[in-house]
Structure 1
Amino acid sequence: MGKWIIPLVIVVCAAVLVGFSVHSVPAGHTGVVTRFGAVDENGLDEGLHFVVPFVTKVIDINNQVLKAEVASSSASKDLQTVDSTVALNYRVPNKNAPSIYKNIGYDFENVVIVPAIQEAVKSVTAQYTAEELITSRQTVGEEMKQAITEKIAAYGFSTESLNIVDFQFSEEFNAAIEAKQTAQQNALKAEQDLARIKIEAEQKVAQAEAEAESYRLKSQELTEELIKMAMIDKWDGQLPKVVSDGGNLFDLDSILTGSNSSSAVQGE
């Protein structure tokens, strides 16, 4: 039994050494190598790697897109309190992983990313009124992203995208915004009502003018008929005895009785 102890110990030690000598870097990560605490400038790509046990240590840094969602409170240009929630998508580039770990450490999000977001949010928010933060939300987000990118790029991080998740304002401001919207809606309704009344008035004027013209024409026709009727009423039923065509005079009695005497008298 004793003769197997030494070989067994050797096998166990060898297995332990092999286990400590192999490191697997996960997909989407960079292996940062340290030897006696000193960081190697060259990182390890994903996959299996042999390392010197008890001398070399490998720390896996995630190179995939990371998300930092930060809530902060700041003041707008018009001194309104604004509670913002901003989500930043960022990455640790493969080539920058060793220097980031060396200069910042593994907790780089709380050390660099979160403070950078808070600083950018406060800086940009102070440039806009509370109402402008609502109406110019896209522009505000772009300026925040630019400010954050400039800040964290100095440490080796890259920015993918930024999203303003939420803006929260005081109850007083929300009430003021609601009152303003109500006033605008009432003003718009009044303007529409005024336009409608104007159109209706124009229509009534046009209708009145048309009715007046119709009445005038009817009055004119009626006047002509009355004149004719008056003339008929005043006529005694007798035709004039003599008529003229401008050159000759005609005796109507002679014409009607068929007299042979001269019925036409030449004008002088």
Structure 2
Amino acid sequence: MDPQQQQRQGNRAGQTPPGRVGAFSFVFLFIMIAGIASISSNNSGLAIVHQVPEGHVGAYWRGGALMKKLTDPGFHLMLPLITKYEPIQVTIQTDQVRDIPCGTKGGVMITFDKIEVVNRLRKDYVHETLLEYGVQYDKTWIYDKIHHEINQFCSSHTLQQVYIDMFDLIDEQMKDAIQKGCSEYAPGIEIIGVRVTKPNIPASIKRNFEQMEEERTKALIAIERQKVAEKEAETEKKIALSQAEKNAQVSLILMEQKLMEKDSIRSQEAIENEMFLAREKSQTDASFYRVMKEAEANKLKLTPEFLELKFIESIANNMKIFFGNKVPSMILDQRLLGSLLRDKTRNDRVEEE
């Protein structure tokens, strides 16, 4: 069987001819090599496949003209030699501006070693920003702007202000100044923050500042010591006042206690006096009542018959009886006295009735 017949039989059996297998393998290998080469060299004009990294967008120039097309992160195709590609970062990035010389208001030259600017290019302003300022837009609005604003700041302030007094304000002033220019001419650039390092100044001046700082520190220490001494004196004064107030309150309480005791004793004595007076009055009233009753009883007893009886009893009780010419008259006088008393008593009763 000749070779042509064998090839026809092989085709009928569904087998691929060896020549075609080699051609397919060559094309596949060429595509793989071209893709790898394009990935490894995204900016090469010969790249067919290119990769846009995460946090970036792909910008394209065709024939030197910026295209409105922007691509997201991932693999993309472009025409080699005709189209140029650049990845543009749209996430937060930090640009470091180094070695910035400036002269102060007094003519002293100083240098800022590093100023960091945290910024971001908003995705919806990428085409407009690239169209106006190119891929190196940050050089115009960040690097060059930082140099300009730092020189403006230094030229209007003294070394004392730049290095010490207003150093804490430089960050915010730089941020506001850069953002103001970007908002007016490049609104897609957002300035998030600025960090300024301490500038380098001449060694002799730096030593003077260090001595001034040492003296200021000593003065602050002295002031703090004085404040501590004043606080201690004030504390001692408050303690003394508190103790004095405490003693005064204790004395007042003791005095009030003594006064209460005196009042209690006085009240007790007053009660005792009242009791004594009441008792004496009661006794006096009782004696008076007794005397009055005795007087009334005696008055009732002073009857002629009672007097005559008492007279007779007294005569009878005498141990000695004297006889003489006066005895009958004495007895008669007593009887006459009794008669007079009876008559008087009778007359009194009649008058009362």
Verify same fold: TM over 0.5. yes
Are the counterparts in 1 of residues 141 and 178 from structure 2 also a CA contact under 8 Å? no
Aligned partner of 1:144 in structure 2 is 174
SS state of the match for residue 178, structure 1?
helix
Of residues 68-77 and 117-126 in structure 1, the stretch that sits farther from structure 2 once superposed is 68-77
Is the 1:86–1:166 Cα contact (8 Å) retained in structure 2? no
Point out where structure 1 has 5 or more consecutive residues left out of the alignment.
197-268
The 5 A counterparts of 1:102-251 are 102-133=131-162, 134-153=164-183, 154-155=185-186, 156-184=188-216, 189=222
C-alpha change, 1:23 and 1:168, in structure 2 (3 Å) is same
Partner Cα separation in structure 1 for residue 73 and residue 159 of structure 2? 47
| Contact 1:17–1:53 under 8 Å retained in 2 | no
CA contact (8 A) 1:113 1:152 kept: no
Per-residue CA deviation, residues 33-81 of structure 1 (Å, 9 max, x unaligned), is: 2223321123112234344455443311112222222221112223332
More helix by share: 2
Asked if residue 86 in structure 1 is aligned to residue 118 in structure 2, the reply is: no
Does structure 1 residue 40 correspond to structure 2 residue 45? no
Distance 1:182 1:47, change over 3 A: closer
Bigger Rg, which one: 2
Q: 1:30 to 1:183 in 2, by over 3 A?
A: same
Q: How far apart are the structure 1 equivalents of 2:217 and 2:23?
A: 92
1:59 match: secondary structure: strand
Q: Distance in 2 between matches of 1:49 and 1:190?
A: 70
SS at match of 1:167: coil
Question: Conserved in 2, the CA contact under 8 Å of 1:43 and 1:95?
Answer: no
1:8: Cα distance to partner?
4.9
CA RMSD of aligned residues (A): 3.6
Matched length: 197
* Cα-to-partner distance string for 1:83-133 (whole Å, 9 max, x where unaligned): 123111112222232333344333444454211111111111223222222
The alignment-based identity, stated in percent, is 18
Q: Give how far 1:21 is off.
A: 5.0
Q: Tell me which of the two structures has the higher relative contact order, counting C-alpha pairs closer than 8 angstroms and 6 or more residues apart.
A: 1
Change (3 A) 1:126 1:8: same
In 2, Cα distance between the equivalents of 1:59 and 1:45? 12
Q: Determine which structure has the larger strand proportion and give its number.
A: 1
Q: Is the 8 A contact 1:116 1:152 kept in 2?
A: no
Q: Tell me, in whole angstroms, the C-alpha distance in 2 between the residues paired with 1:2 and 1:10.
A: 15
Which letter does structure 1 place at the counterpart of 2:106? Answer: D
Distance 1:14 1:151, change over 3 A: same
**Alpha-carbon spacing, 1:32–1:15, altered in 2? closer, same or farther (3 Å):** same
Match of 2:190, as an amino acid? S
1:210-240 alpha-carbon deviations (Å, 9 max, x no partner): xxxxxxxxxxxxxxxxxxxxxxxxxxxxxxx
Of 7, 10, 19, the match for 1:3: 19
Counterpart position of 2:129: 100
Deviation at 1:144, TM superposition (A): 1.3
TM-score by length of 1: 0.59
Using structure 2 for the length normalisation, give the TM-score: 0.47
User: How many Å separate the matches in 2 of 1:190 and 1:28?
Assistant: 54
Farther off after superposition, 45-54 or 170-179: 45-54
In the alignment, which of 1, 4, 27 is matched to residue 54 of structure 2?
27
Which of 71, 74, 93 matches 1:66?
Answer: 93
